[in-house]
Each structure stands twice: as structure tokens, then as C-alpha cells.
């Protein structure tokens, strides 16, 4: 038995292939665990930085910011902890919200300086999520992105794209709450890190190509199962 949630994945994966997230432009050898060996802590931290920077921001802009940080040798917990917030803000300017995000990176670095990533990630998912959410600047999506893409644990990431796509298809209401949609999707899929990783990335790809705020349903691979006809 294949449900609609699974069909969506099958169609998207057939069409767009594996996305190999989390994307990193700096280190070509950075890849998810299931593609090879595990991330080291430097790589895990780089992904965490990315999850903060990409909050309500296009990845293109985030790339510039990460590039700047890396160029200044600041892409580490110790360095960001030591560097003044103003300096961080200046470097991540292209990613927008630079005052907020530089503060968040500072707070996070202070936190991870005291409690190592290894220690943090060694917990079961629900404890890890709870702890991440207690950190200022980390909400549900950022927490789940960190758990899935940095810690490589099976948590499904919900974002505006996920809500948009699933509500347009007719699988949920527009106003559905984060945890509710997360619960719904999770129960309809085999709980594996690889699947959750690819699925979220594929939804992002679909949203960028077709399911935009102003949808372009022409040639959308999901048009056959989507209720929205535009």
C-alpha cells in the first residue's frame, strides 16, 4: 500500500533525483552520512550555521555569508565565540537580518562551547529537540533542520513550502500547525533519515520550480494528484 504522501516522494525523486542535502559550497567533501562517512564536528557546525542564516532567506544569499565567514576563518565555534558580534554581522550581511542572526550565532557558539556538539547530539531526538528549542533563535524548523541534516537523525522538517504544497494538494488545511503536519507526514512514511532528508529537499525543489506563492502548475510533476487547478 502506497499512500499519497509516499506517492509524492516517488514522483519527485523520479523527476529530480537525490538532492544530496545539506548543500555546502565550501567543502565538496561534505555529504550526509548515508552517502558515505559521518560528518565531523566542523562540518556539523557549518550546517548549523547554515540553518540559522537561511531563516526566511534564500540560500543564494546564505552562500555569500558563509563564504565571507569562511574567508575570514571564522567558521568554527571557538572563532565565532571570540569574535565581536559587530564583526560577524558585517560578514553575514548578504544573508539579511544580520543583527538578529549575528546575535543568534554568538549565542549558539557560547552554548556549543560549553556543551559539545557530540554531547548534544548523543541524546534521543525528543530530548535533543527540546534542548535546541530552548536556545534563543532556534524555532521548530531550525531545530528539526539541525537534527536531520547536522545530527543525521530522522526528524521531518516542515517549512512554508511543505505547508504550501501539502495544503494545495489537499492533504492538510492552510492553517495547520507545525507539529500537527509533522506528525501527519511522519506517520505516513517509513521513519528513515535518508528518506526524510531527501523528501524535504525535494519539496524545496518543487516549490522553487513550480509551487511558488504564485503557482506555476504548468508541467508540475504533481499536477495529476493536486487538487489546485490554476
Interacting residues with DNA (CB under 7 A):
21-23, 50-51, 54-61, 64, 93-94, 96-101, 136-143, 145, 149, 159-161, 175, 177, 204, 207-208, 212-214
Nearer to DNA, 29 or 175 (CB): 175
Q: What does the block give as the cell for 107?
A: 549565542
Torsion sign across C-alpha atoms 38, 40, 46, 50 = positive
CB 217 to DNA: min, Å: 15
CB 214 to DNA: min, Å: 6
CB 34 to DNA: min, Å: 17
CB 153 to DNA: min, Å: 15
Nearer to DNA, 159 or 198 (CB): 159
- For residue 7, give the nearest of 229, 230, 224 by alpha carbon: 224
Nearer to DNA, 171 or 204 (CB): 204
Nearer to DNA, 3 or 48 (CB): 48
Nearer to DNA, 2 or 66 (CB): 66
CB 2 to DNA: min, Å: 27
Amino acid at each position: 500500500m502506497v499512500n499519497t504522501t509516499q506517492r509524492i516522494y516517488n514522483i519527485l525523486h523520479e523527476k529530480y533525483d537525490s538532492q544530496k542535502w545539506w548543500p555546502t559550497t565550501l567543502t565538496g567533501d561534505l555529504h550526509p552520512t548515508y552517502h558515505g562517512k559521518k560528518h565531523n564536528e566542523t562540518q556539523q557546525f557549518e550546517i548549523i550555521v547554515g540553518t540559522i542564516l537561511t531563516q526566511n532567506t534564500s540560500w543564494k544569499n546564505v552562500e555569500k555569508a558563509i563564504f565571507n565567514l569562511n574567508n575570514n576563518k571564522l567558521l568554527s565555534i571557538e572563532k565565532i565565540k571570540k569574535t565581536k558580534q559587530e564583526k560577524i554581522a558585517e560578514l553575514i550581511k548578504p544573508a539579511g537580518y544580520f543583527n538578529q542572526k549575528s546575535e543568534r550565532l554568538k549565542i549558539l557558539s557560547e552554548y556549543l562551547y560549553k556543551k559539545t556538539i557530540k554531547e548534544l547530539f548523543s541524546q534521543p531526538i525528543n530530548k535533543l529537540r527540546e534542548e535546541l528549542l530552548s536556545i534563543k533563535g532556534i524555532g521548530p524548523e531550525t531545530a528539526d533542520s539541525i537534527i536531520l541534516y547536522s545530527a543525521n537523525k530522522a526528524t521531518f522538517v516542515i517549512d512554508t513550502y511543505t505547508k504550501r504544497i501539502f495544503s494545495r494538494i489537499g492533504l492538510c488545511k492552510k492553517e495547520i500547525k507545525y507539529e500537527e503536519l509533522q506528525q501527519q507526514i511522519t506517520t505516513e512514511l517509513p521513519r528513515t533519515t535518508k528518506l526524510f532528508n531527501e523528501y524535504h529537499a525535494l519539496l524545496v525543489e518543487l516549490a522553487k520550480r513550480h509551487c511558488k506563492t504564485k503557482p506555476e502548475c504548468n508541467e508540475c510533476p504533481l499536477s495529476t494528484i493536486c487538487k489546485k487547478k490554476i
